[in-house]
Chain A
Amino acid sequence: MNAVNTDCTERNGLIESNKILYTEVDIMHMADALISPIVGGTMMAASAGIATYSIKKVQSDMDDKKIPFMGVMGAFVFAAQMINFQIPGTGASGHIGGGLLLAVLLGPYAGFLTMCSILLIQALFFADGGLLALGCNMFNLGFYTCFLAYPLIYKRITRGKVNGVRIFVASLLSSIVGLQLGAFSVVVETLLSGKTELPFGTFVLLMQPIHLAIGVMEGIISAAVIGFVWKARPEIMERTANSGAIGSISMKNVLAVFLVAVVLTGGVLSWFASSNPDGLEWSMEKTAGTSELEADGWIYNVMSRLQNKMAFLPDYSFKTAADDEVHTSESVEKWPAVSSGTSVSGIVGGVMTLAMAMSVGAAIRLAKRKKRKVTA
């Protein structure tokens, strides 16, 4: 999160953007502004569902020592995420996500919960990924590592015998896969939210290779830390290995919960936000028995206007580099601001609003300060 000069030329667009995006921005921590409420809400529901399930599993397994350890690992990964290391050969730097480490040392359920608490604290205190992107971040950084990479790759490789080599290979593979999946998720979520102009192809080309390199680094570092803990305090890892076997049964549960949550929320939210009046008519039929309301015409008008105004659905435009103008959705969000944004009244109004807000704020501050002086 260091500021780097944002000088960029159009000439070598791709390479330059590569550098800027990479050295400055940690895309794995998605910022609020990149997410639309629907995507954010859906992912939040999904993550919340998984978290609830994890809490249930953890409660039955809880012992007094685990609580502070979870807290410590949480603080540790939090701090570790702030340590940037140089990636040799690329002149760029990155930091670990920590999901795999948490899964190995705490178990997948406790690990996921710990990751959630880390992200929540970051969102509150650092706006590192805001509150709305929280669901996405929890999923991208937590789900793939704790519930896919850990059980399917790490555990399988270290099953039976645990030694330095196995830890290393398992960590490396799990980290790479986990991060690749996470990075790809970021791409999908951003594009579904329609908040940047990056075409799909470019975005993927940016994300995947970078996170491949990070994955390798994270794998190595995780392996080193896991190896250290295993040698110094093997009882910590034995406990997690024996508790809560991650058989295919519980995996299915988790996936099922996730799918249900996604489908339900995504569907419900999209339906509500759909500016397609069919949805409204359908509900009218179901509730009032008619698709036309005569006596309540006024309400209908308000409702349909409300729906039009609250068109949350963003552009689903998967742009290709060559074609700027493809709008494949029927959302209302075109360039309507052209009318009010470029008109004089619009601009005047906007500036006035801003000025009003500022002056009101300043006036209040002054009044408060005067009051303090009087009562002091």
Chain B
Amino acid sequence: MPDISKALYNMRLLDDLAQKDSSVHRINSLVKLLTTVIYLTVVLSFGRYEIIRLMPFVFYPVLVFAFSELPAAPVIKRILLVEPLVIGVGILNPLLDNQRILLGNVAVSRGWITFISLFIKSSLAVTAGILLIATTGMGKLASALRLLKIPKVFVLQLLLTYRYIYLLTEEAARMMRAYSLRAPGQKGVRLKHLGSFLGQMILRTFDRAQRLYDSMVLRGFNGDYNTGIKEKLKLKDFAYLVGWILFFTIARIFDIPNLLGVLLTGVIV
């Protein structure tokens, strides 16, 4: 269960970070959501051999990171946690695509190019996602979804699932501790116990979730999640959105690094 408590800790951390105040935190949530999605789309639209042209896109996560005053270490740690996943998938590329490509004077397997490209794209995507949640938080994100006219049922379902995850993982950790204290030397739950273990977990958490839901309803909850903050669309939100979209479009169409390099080296390609 170390995985679960680690995951829970991560979620809590991101939740806490979302409560901070910074210029980025204050940007309208819907704007941040849209910007992130557009960013992802554009970054992932690059072909599999592109590396250099991805560089300008580093500006987005770096700037957001800088302006949001998020602590560097925990966020970077979160990002690094996902890398093995990507490495695992991409590491085969150098093996499978053996065509040699000349890079300047060095012959390199083309598979390495695709691998690096994949790695960069994935890192950018992951970072963007984490930055979104670390500067917005689940509550405001849910409001943003409602603004997109996503039905109350689904958003409520999302919020509750999110809240209950804490409950349930606590319950799971508790049960796991009790189990392992009576099953020394065993790593994990034995298969024949898994059914009732999981079943108990569900039922217990169900009772608890029912009580939690009751307490919400008893305090007037009727499906609409009111965070008390009426997010208005201000000029700076609009500027944020338009500014980034413009940047993404330009960086997608024009090969900025190359132009820059041309300027610097005075070599005409």
Give A contacts to B, CB under 8 Å.
Answer: 1-4, 6, 8, 10, 13, 17, 20-21, 24-27, 31-37, 40-41, 51-52, 55, 58-59, 62, 64-65, 67-76, 78-80, 82-86, 113-114, 116-118, 120-121, 123-128, 130-132, 194-199, 220-221, 223-225, 227-229, 232-233, 305-306, 309-312, 314-315, 324-325, 333, 335-354, 357-358, 360-362, 364-365, 368
Contacts and interface: CB of A to CB of B under 8 A. Distances in A.
Contacts of B92: 8, 17, 20-21, 196-198
Interface string B163-203: 11101110010000000000000001101001110111111
Interface residues of B, number: 117
Nearest to B63: A361
Contacts of B196: 224, 228
A188 to B, nearest CB: 16
Contacts of A128: 82
Contact of A121 (B65, B88, B162, B191): B162
Contacts of A229: 199, 202-203
Given A67-B160, A68-B160, A196-B118, A364 B7 contact: no
A324 B97 contact: yes
Contact of A127 (B82, B167, B206): B82
21 contacts: A13-B95, A17-B92, A21-B88, A27-B89, A64-B217, A67-B156, A73-B202, A75-B164, A85-B188, A121-B162, A125-B133, A127-B126, A127-B129, A130-B125, A199-B96, A232-B203, A349-B55, A349-B257, A352-B257, A353-B260, A357-B56
Contacts of A352: 257, 260-261, 264
Contact of A114 (B3, B161, B202): B161
A194 B202 contact: no
Nearest to B65: A361
B154 A116 contact: yes
Interface string B31-47: 00000110011001101
Contact of B269 (A34, A227, A345, A368): A345
Q: Which one of B44, B122, B162 has the highest number of Cβ atoms from chain A below 10 Å of its Cβ? A: B44
Interface string B236-269: 0000000000000000110111111110110101
A74 B257 CA distance: 45
Contact of B101 (A6, A130, A335, A354): A335
A84 B86 contact: no
Contact of A62 (B153, B169, B191): B153
Interface in B1-38: 1, 3-4, 7, 10-11, 14, 36-37
Q: Which one of B89, B99, B191 has the highest number of Cβ atoms from chain A below 10 Å of its Cβ? A: B89
Interface in B46-66: 47-53, 55-56, 58-59, 62-63, 65-66
B129 A360 contact: no
Interface string B209-225: 11011000100000000
B267 to A, nearest CB: 5
Given A197-B92, A361-B62, A75 B165 contact: yes
A8 B209 contact: no
A114 to B, nearest CB: 7
B89 A70 contact: no
Contact of A225 (B62, B86, B198): B198
Given A40-B41, A131-B37, 11 more contacts: A21-B89, A33-B118, A127-B82, A131-B40, A225-B199, A324-B97, A345-B269, A349-B261, A349-B264, A350-B52, A353-B260
